Structure 1
Amino acid sequence: MRARVTDWRASPSTIVRVTRSTPAEDLSGFSVPGAGRGILDVFRYRYLLRLLIRKGTQTRYHGSVLGWTWSYVKPAAQFAIFYVVLGVFLDLNRGIEGFPIYLFSGIIVINLFNEAFGNATKSIVNNAPLVKKIYLPRELFPVADVFIAFVHFLPQLAILLVVVLLNGWAPTAVQIAGVFVALILVLVLALGLGLLFGSVNVSFRDAQNVVEIILLFSTWSAPVLYSFTLVRDKLPQWLFELYMANPLTSAVELFHSAFWYPTTVTSPERPENLWLLATVGMVIAALFLLIGQLVFRKFEGRFAQDL
């Protein structure tokens, strides 16, 4: 494509109009913020995504004495506090068979969600120098933080596997499949909410305070520290069904079904239609991902300016 440029030249007797063609500037190699394919563009930058994940995992405990040991110490301390208060003082250790496994298998699910969601919310602000200097799919940052949270979740899962194996763990293939479904559900939900609040947080830092309140309630919004039967016996039926539709509830109960239930002797009561509830939870998580992506794209063009 060529542009026509008009040049006026003066001579002693007349003014001559000279028209010449010049090549138009080629902008095909440039990307306009907000004009890409959103999360789909992350797959085109897989190398950069790996670098961000590696940076996040290697610098998490940089300069600390214990290093990666903190990935085991923190959940162990959290478990000890909840077990003493709820299991011993409130006597849930007797009311729920295998309460330590029940408790820990739920805690690690909530920890995964809290870390992934919380870090994704701050991902754009934390990477402000990159966002302001160069263009790349900004979704890379929340996606990388969700993957980093998953990497930090693996040591906790390893502890749980050791404990259940020592207690005669013998799961079925369906129960193992439930673990993968639960992980996908939690990660998709955390990414969707992270995109939503992470984009708003760039312009309105109050969003981070809202996220902290959500994380405060997340541990109690699913049957981690108590049994779902307590909720069923106290709430009206419609409100209980709404509680069970919570994606975190489905994810926690899938983990209970895979890790806790196979180690029990009395076959405790489990939620009815758990896979249907998981499907509903997956739809809700996917809806949040869609909303989060749309809001992210709306605010993306202002990131560099607001930062």
Structure 2
Amino acid sequence: MDQQLKVFVTVAEKKSFSRTAEELHMTQPAVSQYIRAFEETMGTRLLERTNKYVRLNKAGEIVYHHAKEIIGLYEKMHNLVDDLTKKARGPLTIGASHTFGEYVLPWIIATLQREYPDIEPEVIIGNTTEIANLVDTHQLDAGIVEGKLLNHHLELQPLGNDFMYAVASPDHPIFNHGNELLELEATKDMVWIAREKGSGTREAMDEMFEQFEFEPVRLMQFGSNQPIKEAVKAGLGISLLSRWAIQKELEYGELKMVKIAGLPFERQFSIITNSPFQTKALEVFTALLRSHQLLRAFE
């Protein structure tokens, strides 16, 4: 890979010539020389730098975005060629949406490390939209997401079903009349606690509301599953969460399932990639993912 490109990306991320020199085991003057040469090649300044800061300008942001994609493609190309004569090993970058990444993926990664210790996994957790964008720009080898995907040119393969349930605090007024089966409309005046837009869990909740032609009076939004569960336990409202996210809380009596007609809501976990070619590391990870007993636990 072109060293100028690597130095530029590192400076952009470290926001420092000295930290870049330390990271790449170079001298600071060498880093400055690479940046000057790269800017001359591009025909414009890419970094604004003073004694106090180093940051990308508008042209630099464009170059940085594409440089990350080029580096990702280069590394993938190198690993694919390397795999022709070697066993599964080397870096493997995996992205996962919050529910899968927080509650399922760690167990699968642990199995991967036991069976293939030469694979070096790196995991990034984000919402479905964020993970799809990183796979699309070749910054991730693969992603595991929930629900539908707007980026249709990515290759999407079903991985397994997930079931989502309405939950509330055991002390929530919705249980005042016992634990009988309710219509969703009975929750109309109650607070529903939701994930942010772009999340697969939020998409499922919106789809459920649309399916039942239901609109809550008030929606409270949080950025991940854990604060949602804490808010529900505190009695702030009701939420729709994956079976994976609520197992312990149901077992310990911290949350209680609300029996609503038409639930649980079913959705799908899928694995997404952006190339027909896969490294051996990705091949064995995908095979392990499909066969792992954890994914079969609720089927």
Give the structure, 1 or 2, with the largest relative contact order (CA under 8 Å, sep 6 or more). 1
Pair in the same fold by TM > 0.5? no
Q: Which has the higher strand share?
A: 2
Q: Rg: which structure is higher?
A: 1
What TM bracket, shorter-length normalisation? under 0.3
Q: Which has the higher helix share?
A: 1
TM-score where L is the length of structure 1? 0.23
